Amino acid sequence: MMPDRIALRPRTLLAVGDLALQFTRRNARWLAIPVACAAAPMVVVAWFTVGAGTETALMWLALALVGRVSSGLVTVACAELALHPTLRLGPTIAAYLGQLPRWLWVQTVEWLSRVPTLGLAAIAFAFAPEVALLERGGVGQVLARGNRLAAAHPALRWAMPVLAIGVPLWWYVAAALGWRAVLDVLELGGGPTAGLFDTVTFAGVLGSIVGEMAWAVLRFLLYLDCRTRGDGWDLQVQCQALVMAHAEPGRRAA
């Protein structure tokens, strides 16, 4: 085999989305617990902010901040499942927690840079979870990787910030509209679109949480597609190293 002569077929965004659905269905039993663990901090934040009477806008902002950090656990789980048929929850959580300080620092820099750059920093930080948690890169490496991927895939460069908002928003609207429709059918008050964004409902919060986790899976597969077409062997080594690191405690115990 001659790797230098292999040309990988480019995939459209819809094709990667279809792969994300297949990936989720195939690994649903393994992803369920990491998704639940990642969603737990978001549920706590929603419950606390609503109970404290926090402004709705601030509640959604806090939910977005916490969701961005906690969904990193789903990213680590997806990386292991990409090259391993099963998932060991303990080592996966340990790998995520081991990189959590680095990930929090990257997130802090990202959010602080969004205001002076009018949000354009989101482009450079598009694949920040994957670079920080899987490649174990700092802010400099996150920016360098983001800029290289953006240069190699110009359409994706502008699509990523839209998707980062659009995917969770779609799930939120779908859940909130569904709940409002149920209330309308049961004549419990409120039309299907009444107060969609200015009130907090369990269905809306649940929809936004599911959307954040769905975006984590889709973003990982977009990252996988971009890296495989650019330098696939490097990506394979990185993911395999993650799997081997997870297996190392078991080998030592044996």
Q: Is residue 150 part of a domain?
A: yes
Measure the CA–CA gap between 203 and 113, rounded to whole angstroms.
32
Residues with Cβ within 8 Å of 49's Cβ and at least 6 positions away in sequence, in order, are: 58, 59, 62, 63
pLDDT of 99 higher than 90: yes
Split into its structural domains, the chain has a count of: 1
Asked whether the CA dihedral 107, 109, 115, 121 is positive or negative, the reply is: negative
Element of type H or E holding 6:
none
Ranked by mean pLDDT, the top range of 6-15, 22-31, 170-179, 203-212 is 22-31
Q: Is residue 5 part of a domain?
A: no
Q: Is residue 83 part of a domain?
A: yes
Measure the CA–CA gap between 221 and 238, rounded to whole angstroms.
15
> What is the reported pTM?
0.78
- The band of 1, judged by pLDDT with boundaries at 50, 70 and 90, is very low
- Domain with 29, as residue range(s), is 11-248
